[in-house]
Amino acid sequence: MTLSIAQLIETHRGENFSLHERHLNSQMVRVLRTIGYDRLYTHAEGPYLYDGENNRYLDLLSGFGVFALGRNHPTVKTALKEVLELDLPDLVQMDVSLLSGLLADKLVKLTPAPLTKLFFCNSGAEAVEAAIKFARYTTGRSRILYCEHAFHGLTMGALALNGEEIFRQGFGPLLPDCDAIPFNDLGALEQALQTRETAAFIVEPIQGKGVNLPADDYLAEAARLCHRYGTLFVADEIQAGLGRTGKLWAIEHWGVEPDMLLMAKALSGGFIPVGAVAMTAHVMDKVFNRMDRAVVHGSTFSKNNMAMAAGLATLEVIEAENLLDNAARQGEAMVSELNALAERYEFFKGARGKGLMIALDFGKPTSLKLKTAWNLLETANKGLFSQMVTIPLFKRHRILSQVAGHGMNVVKFLPPLVISDSDRAWVVRAMDEVLEDCHKVPGAIWDLGKTLAGHAMKAKKSA
């Protein structure tokens, strides 16, 4: 009998949580059950997930940003089916494949002019690891600068560039010679660069944790400073790139020319793990400088045909469906419509962002009763209020979103770039209702708040 995946899913329907509890990360199961996110999704299309009762959920999380095209996009599916049907020779290794050449050619045309070479890998973190190695080899220097609150992935090298202690704790010692500087601080950057020991400055054009936007002159000036001191400027576009901010690359908003540009997440339409480093010929030619070094960096599955075909299809969809324009237009309208709510709700300080990378800020209210309630949550754990927003947004309004980082009262929306006017109206209406409920003290949302505070206190005690 041949294996049928459809049959397997049917036979074991509903066993997701028990299987994960037994064999995978059981803490994740606990978290989902505690906050009521333990749904059984059965199918997905575009920006929507569906459960067994055919309830529709709007996904503003996009699998942490991989579903820029929405889920199960037919053009990417067709490309993948074609690759399978063609019985192509894949991963020959002692060969160079056509599809990776074509994707590289396409990407080079779409990245800033000095970037003419591509290195493919299988994830964002792998792109970061490659950038660290390439920068060290190219410059002959070891030090890497990164920003406070940065997130570049969770492998050992990338972790050494992580700006949040919670991710690093207990995994040390990490890569030496990696130093954090404040984001948006050109003085600190120049001071750090002056010793001429820095191989690279790696920066997210818009920081994912907290959705921190750069000052208008920050990135271009940072690149100029790097070049003055012989340091490579690396733009980590793994989250903000490929249309998320309304331009293909976030750095285009500020006219920056990096030495390396990192991409991953949305590149394969969310189907196949993929990552890439676009770089200058100078970097590529330094690292791969002799025949005996032709395989000095790489990864077995990189450049696989499925990932490359999905990448080609994804770039075509972004263009054919005008997704950059839609991201810019929907993002601007969503921020402005959400900001209109801020006038009515004390807890809500407003929305901000670029394209469809959007942050909602919450903060201390002015009236006494609300202030007391806020203080109770903040004392239990900083940032709990934002969870008190995302949970009813999900449970009552079927909108999946996330808190923007540890210990901050910021909610982040990363919708697929295909969302429509009616999806946007769904979000604004739901936020209006959730905010209205948050301002009812006591009320159902504050009962949830008390439960969250209880859990947080317990976790603190056992830490």
Q: Which residues bind ligand PLP (CB under 6 A)?
A: 64, 123-125, 128, 151-153, 204, 208, 236, 238-239, 264
Annotation says 265 is catalytic: yes
| Nearest CB to ligand PLP, comparing residues 234 and 453 | 234
| Nearest CB to ligand PLP, comparing residues 275 and 392 | 275
Omega prior to 214 cis, within 30 of 0: no
Rounded CA gap, 164 and 247, in Å?
A: 28
| Nearest CB to ligand PLP, comparing residues 117 and 209 | 209
Indicate which residue of 67, 120, 183, 236 is catalytic.
Answer: 236
Query: Least separation, in Å, of the C-beta of 16 and ligand PLP?
Result: 22
Query: Least separation, in Å, of the C-beta of 136 and ligand PLP?
Result: 18
| Nearest CB to ligand PLP, comparing residues 299 and 339 | 299
Query: Least separation, in Å, of the C-beta of 66 and ligand PLP?
Result: 8
Annotation says 151 is catalytic: yes
Sign of CA dihedral 290, 227, 251, 60: positive
Query: Least separation, in Å, of the C-beta of 273 and ligand PLP?
Result: 7
Query: Least separation, in Å, of the C-beta of 248 and ligand PLP?
Result: 16
Indicate which residue of 151, 233, 394, 413 is catalytic.
Answer: 151
Annotation says 447 is catalytic: no
| Nearest CB to ligand PLP, comparing residues 129 and 361 | 129
| Nearest CB to ligand PLP, comparing residues 46 and 205 | 205
Rounded CA gap, 250 and 338, in Å?
A: 22
Indicate which residue of 247, 265, 303, 354 is catalytic.
Answer: 265
Residue nearest ligand PLP, CB atom distance: 124
Query: Least separation, in Å, of the C-beta of 376 and ligand PLP?
Result: 32
Known catalytic residues?
151, 236, 265
